[in-house]
Structure 1
Amino acid sequence: MSIALVLLTLLFPSRPIFSAALPSTVAHLSPRTVAFVSAPLVPKRLPRRLPTYTVTATIYEPDPRQTDSEPFITADNSRIRRKHSSKDRWMALSRDLLKKWGGDFDYGDSVLVTGISPKLDGVYVIHDTMNRRHRHCMDILAAKWEHLDEMWKGVKIMKVEPRWRAS
């Protein structure tokens, strides 16, 4: 016997267990047949329709003239790779659209973007914030060597709900 088991036995002695007979009503129960009825079909719930916003989209590059003194660090402290491109699918939103300032979006949210071009439409992740002078705008992170257009009006953005989220 281990020392711990001896100590536990001394500290917590076992109590006598009294066995009681079952009441006569319980002892004489006989099984009965149960009919299973199928539950009514519940209609499938339609997915919640998320709000769509119409914004102006622009391109930005991690350049101190377009950002701040640390252009390769975003507002949510993510680091932009030195050899990045628009294929990274990162974006910045104007402050009026971010939760921190009363909007519906937050850093790390996935956003479906449509209305730019077939090459640039798709799902982007919010990592940055635009200057406070901008309203209803978004910036797509791109590299200097891509030479993309500079501005698109009437672009639609909608938050994409994650299929699952780690806890």
Structure 2
Amino acid sequence: MTSPLFYSAPATPKATGLVKLISPLEATRRPTTTRREKKTKSFIPHSLKYTVTATIYEAVPGQTDDEPFVTADNSHIKPHYGTKKRWMALSRDLLKPWGGEFQFGDTVRVTGISAKLDGVYTIHDTMNKRHHHCMDVLAHPSENLDIFTKGVKIQKVTLE
């Protein structure tokens, strides 16, 4: 008696029900049923406007602590940062851990500095404790900005 050259398993019963085969392209395709809605910036109702003094700071050891590229909320400043990044530091009296209204990560509308620098900023850092009712705009040393502007208005905004 000779043994078969190839062994074949016994036939399995056929699957019942509907089976859909998905192509690899279809498996990686994003669903098209929902449209992305554009987020708009709007003021938070009953949000107070604060009047502050605005200055510029750069991520250099003379103007920061011993880790100039790490902010107070542990965000990392990339080497090619600048004012287009729209990051800011607030004085401690305006931040929640010290009794203020703002917290790290809040978006804030700033008006009254200049046409170039007015806009929406994100709070990532805090200032030295000797400063009160102040804000610092993060700028790169190559931008050669030197700003000290009193009467700047800031107000918390939200993305909807």
Q: Give the superposed CA RMSD.
A: 0.9
Q: Which residue of 2 aligns with 1:17?
A: none
2:111 maps to which residue?
114
- List 4+ stretches of structure 1 deviating above 3 A: none
Deviation of 1:49 (Å): 3.0
TM (normalized to structure 1)? 0.68
Alpha-carbon distance, 1:117 to partner: 0.5
TM-score between both structures, scaled by the size of structure 2: 0.71
Q: What's the % identity of the aligned pairs? A: 65
Q: How many residues align?
A: 117
Question: Match for 2:124 among 115, 124, 127?
Answer: 127
Q: 1:1-167 counterparts in 2 under 5 A?
A: 48-163=45-160
**Greater strand content:** 2
Distance 1:146 1:62 in 2: 13
- Specify the structure having the higher radius of gyration (Cα): 1
Q: Which runs of 5+ in 2 are unaligned?
A: 1-43
State how far apart, in whole Å, the 2-side matches of 1:140 and 1:97 are. 15
* Structure 1 CA distance for aligned equivalents of residues 147 and 108 of structure 2: 20
Q: Could you list the runs of 5+ residues in structure 1 that have no partner in the other structure? A: 1-46
Q: Within 1, Cα distance between the matches of 2:58 and 2:107?
A: 20
